[in-house]
């Protein structure tokens, strides 16, 4: 399979992906420090102190951040797999090339701008505060 990306561009984006993967893995490892996600949440709730509402809020923020980082890590792993198999930089919806500039901004992107715009337009929005 041919790609519109040069060898140098693939190497550059691969390095960005691997560096971010390493950073996320290290952060998640430090966050959980060898315990499960559930045990980690329980530890936060049971911390000493008299500010239970703050601990609950800290736990919620901690869990939300780890959720986002876990999703990002999965997307990065998938991007690295596509890079290895030669399909990196192809829009998963239409098959067109995703421009290098877009990949440089979001290396784990799956779609070209047009397909991502269509997807976002028809995707239900979550309630905001």
What pLDDT does 57 receive? 76
The whole-model pTM stands at 0.75
Whole-angstrom distance, CA of residue 70 vs CA of residue 90: 23
- 8-67 tens-digit pLDDT: 999 999 999 999 999 999 988 887 776 666 666 666 666 655 566 666 677 678 778 888
7-122: in CATH 1.20.1270.10: no
CA atoms 62, 18, 105, 124: torsion sign: negative
Distance CA 19, CA 14 (A): 8
6 pLDDT band, cuts 50/70/90, is: very high
**Distant-in-sequence, close-in-space partners of 66: CB < 8 Å, separation ≥ 6:** 28, 31, 32, 37
4 or 107: which leads in pLDDT: 107
């Amino acid at each position: 399979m041919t790609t519109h990306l040069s060898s140098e561009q693939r190497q550059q984006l691969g390095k960005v992906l691997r560096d971010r993967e390493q950073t996320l893995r290290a952060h998640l490892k430090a966050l959980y420090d060898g315990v499960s996600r559930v045990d980690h949440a329980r530890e936060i709730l049971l911390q000493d102190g008299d500010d239970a509402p703050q601990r609950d809020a800290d736990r919620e923020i901690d869990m939300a951040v780890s959720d986002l980082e876990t999703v990002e890590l999965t997307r990065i792993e998938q991007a690295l797999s596509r890079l290895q198999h030669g399909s990196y930089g192809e829009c998963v919806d239409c098959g067109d090339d995703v421009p290098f500039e877009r990949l440089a901004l979001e290396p784990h992107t799956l779609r070209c701008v047009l397909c991502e715009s269509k997807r976002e337009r028809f995707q239900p929005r979550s309630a905001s505060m």
